[in-house]
A and B are shown apart, each in its own frame.
Chain A
Amino acid sequence: MYHKEKSIQIKNSASALYNNLCALRIAPRRLTYFTVVHANVVNMVSASWDGLNYSHRQLQSKEPNVATSTSLIMQAAFCSLPSRDLLVVTSQKGIQVYESDGSIMVYWHALDIPETQTGKVASKLDFPCRFLSLGISTGAILVFDVPSKGSNITLSDVLEGHKESITDMASECCGGEVCIADLVSADDGGNLCVWKSGEEFKLLNHIPGFDISCSSVKLWKGTVVAGYGTGQIRLYEAVTGILHAEVNAHARWIYSLDIAPYSGLLLSAAEDSLVRVWHLTMTPESQSVEIAHLHNECVTDTQICGAKFCDADGYAFAVTGYDLSEIIRYTQS
């Protein structure tokens, strides 16, 4: 179903962090940006679609007002808002927002987390509205209002729905259809919160976990797709919390999930060296969603830490692994 393409070499190896690969397709310029985190550095590669041109850039996590301080980066992710694309880099100390090519820092926000708390921070991306939200280790979610131009990003809300460290968040990626829920957040205890964005965010539903960390979460057509530390994937209906499907998907901790919104293809990747492709189908008659397994790829001797579709149909996907200095690519045959 898929075959391996030529890999893209990156300057550093990927660190073992959840969802450690992000891709942004720039159709007008026929290129794709990829970001991979290595300790305190973000490696950015801009790859042209014809496979001939690659350019690299590295961003280091630095606090603008403390010249010598560096901290480890938790995530670097592209945030596609209606009017602009931004690159959000979250570190132990706070968040930095750049233009999507990493050229200019547009905004930064320092977190005042007391020493006793672990400084884990998870970034959230792909918001349909103007909001950028950020989950932190206390379980709180900070919501920032992003204007369509300029750097006047402001903290507009703090959502309290979780008591444990936020691990991942996702916004609805159904591609323009009207949805009830548009944000889901997951935490270290496996608890999921479903939100509706707006002037004031509203908590629509809380789906309890089973003390197993949920490391990756996606929201598609009102369905929450969650990946857990036990290697299971579960599909819930977001607003009601009804469990539609449970898959014993991987033999190790799941590190990354991604959905291609137009085709309903789902990508899952774990520490067990395997990337699996699934198909999600909505069945209007039973008002539920079904999942079918399509394909496996094994990246030998590698603990995978990031897997992303490169386009909204799922025609191609890319993978990163711990200690690997390349982005491996696969395309449909």
Chain B
Amino acid sequence: MSSRTLPLLFINLGGEMLYILDQRLRAQNIPADKAKKVMNDIITTMFNKKFLEELFKPQELYSKKALRTVFDRLAHASIMRLNQASMDKLYDLMTMAFKYQVLLCPRPKDILLVSFNHMDAIKDFVKDTPSILSQVDETYRQLVEMYTTLSSGEFQLIRQTLLIFFQDMHIRVSIFLKDKVQNSNGRFVLPTNGPVPYGTQVPGLIRMFSCAGEEVTRRQFSNGGNYTAALREGSFEIFGDRVTKLGTNMYSVSRPVETHLSGTSKNSAQHTKVNVAPNPLAKEELNLLARLMGGLEVQKLGNADSGFRVNLFSTDEEEEEALISRPDDLLYGVINIQATKDQQANAELAKIMGEFTESGDQSPSSISKGDDLLAMMDGL
């Protein structure tokens, strides 16, 4: 499958995460300056130069576990804290939203437009902070460089790789249910009406030609849908009208974010047992993860006052209840790196952490940061 999928997966999921956190911060009336700091800290970490370098290298997609671990770390890159249940729900929402966007993209290349929509919104979040803005701009350039020259077939391969990653996920999201883009069985509505993709003709015409190349017959057939002509093409430049609404922020303070987990356990019988077997590649994945997360700085909480907890549910009781009642087949099993008895992996990890704390990091507690980092990961 495609080895260029990871950057798109990460940026789009990251974008969705920021939309949701932004909504929750406003819904919980977190003071504006604190909220802004949270968003800035997360975005800074997301677009860390070394991190992105690792990300953009051609490679296979990470496992669901590994990716979830990366996002756990990212969500904790600020003074904001999330409980396990809220983190689970955040991840459910992020993944279902991006799955929806990938499925509904009219053409595979439109996934790039969706990514640009996320990038445009991220840029808007940090428009007042020039240092982060330049990181974001650099990422735009990398995206344009890597993806705008790919053929439609290569984009389809990226899309197919993403769809394999999202296979069998049918978590119901209340915003999607309300807007009738998702059915009560968790499957997305695929309309047989509306504009056709750019480059496609409305189905219905058969043209037949003579051997000399002249059109001799035209016939129409009924296409079983209600299609209209394609809209104009969205812009693939750093600035421009993307045309598609997929990837734009669908949350607002008045539209709460809820997921329904009951009913999905019906599918547990269908889940392949193959994934449950211990993954012999876990060690290699851990090393990759360590290299990747070497670039992710974790915020050390200075004092108890500055940190605060964000709840993805309406009440604390609901959050607790959600943690207890989460169906088995939806447990994410976040990687607990310390738990591996593998000395080499731990040594490797410590070495990488050490490298990053030594290389120009201004924090006074840099020596102990490595230990804190490992300790932090224990808690994941």
| A contacts, CB < 8 Å to B | 11-13, 15-17, 38-41, 58, 60, 67-69, 72, 92, 115-116, 118-120, 164-165, 167, 187-189, 211-213, 215, 229-232, 242-253, 272-274, 286-288, 290-293, 296, 298, 300-303, 322-323, 325
A residues within 8 A CB of B281?
A: 68-69
Q: Is the CB of A251 within 8 A of B196?
A: yes
B358 contacts chain A at the CB level, 8 A cutoff:
no
Q: Is the CB of B209 within 8 A of A244?
A: yes
Known pairs A16-B164, A252-B106. 5 more at Cβ < 8 A?
A: A16-B160, A213-B152, A242-B213, A243-B209, A245-B207
Complex Cα distance, B219 from A245, in Å, reads 11
A residues within 8 A CB of B221?
A: 293
B residues within 8 A CB of A242?
A: 209, 211, 213
Residues of B229-251 whose CB lies within 8 A of A: none
Q: Is the CB of B151 within 8 A of A273?
A: no
Please, how many residues of chain B have a CB less than 8 angstroms from a CB on the other chain?
A: 56
**Most chain B beta-carbon neighbours within 10 Å: one of A15, A72, A167, A229:** A229
A residues within 8 A CB of B189?
A: 301
Known: A213-B151, A247-B205, A252-B200. A12 touches B159 (CB 8 A): no
Q: Is the CB of A118 within 8 A of B272?
A: no
Q: Is the CB of B106 within 8 A of A12?
A: no
Q: Is the CB of B164 within 8 A of A213?
A: no
Complex Cα distance, B233 from A136, in Å, reads 32
Q: Which of B167, B199, B211, B217 contacts A15 (CB 8 A)?
A: B167
Tell me how far the C-beta of B5 lies from the nearest C-beta in chain A, rounded to whole angstroms: 10
Q: Is the CB of B163 within 8 A of A16?
A: yes
Complex Cα distance, B322 from A329, in Å, reads 40
Complex Cα distance, B317 from A146, in Å, reads 66
Tell me how far the C-beta of A246 lies from the nearest C-beta in chain B, rounded to whole angstroms: 5
Tell me how far the C-beta of B137 lies from the nearest C-beta in chain A, rounded to whole angstroms: 28
Q: Which of B167, B187, B225 contacts A301 (CB 8 A)?
A: B187
A residues within 8 A CB of B223?
A: 251, 274, 296
Return the CB mask of B139-165 against A: 1 if under 8 Å, else 0.
000000000000111101101100110
B residues within 8 A CB of A16?
A: 159-160, 163-164
Known: A41-B272, A301-B188. A293 touches B1 (CB 8 A): no
Q: Which of A60, A72, A250 contacts B164 (CB 8 A)?
A: A72
Q: Is the CB of A41 within 8 A of B209?
A: no
**Most chain B beta-carbon neighbours within 10 Å: one of A115, A211, A246, A287:** A246
B302 contacts chain A at the CB level, 8 A cutoff:
no
- CB-based closest 3 A-B pairs: A188-B153, A68-B280, A293-B221
Tell me how far the C-beta of B196 lies from the nearest C-beta in chain A, rounded to whole angstroms: 5
Complex Cα distance, B162 from A39, in Å, reads 11
Q: Is the CB of A250 within 8 A of B203?
A: yes
A residues within 8 A CB of B156?
A: 213, 215, 229, 253
B residues within 8 A CB of A290?
A: 208, 217
A187 and chain B: residue at smallest CB distance: B153
Q: Which of B208, B211, B225 contacts A272 (CB 8 A)?
A: B225
A214 and chain B: residue at smallest CB distance: B153
Q: Is the CB of A286 within 8 A of B1?
A: no
B190 contacts chain A at the CB level, 8 A cutoff:
yes
Known: A72-B1, A242-B211, A252-B200. A39 touches B167 (CB 8 A): yes
A residues within 8 A CB of B206?
A: 245-248, 291-293
A residues within 8 A CB of B183?
A: 301
Complex Cα distance, B280 from A69, in Å, reads 8
Q: Is the CB of B280 within 8 A of A251?
A: no
A117 and chain B: residue at smallest CB distance: B3
B residues within 8 A CB of A11?
A: 270, 272
Q: Is the CB of A248 within 8 A of B202?
A: yes
B residues within 8 A CB of A167?
A: 153
Q: Is the CB of B210 within 8 A of A286?
A: yes
Residues of B121-138 whose CB lies within 8 A of A: none
B227 contacts chain A at the CB level, 8 A cutoff:
yes
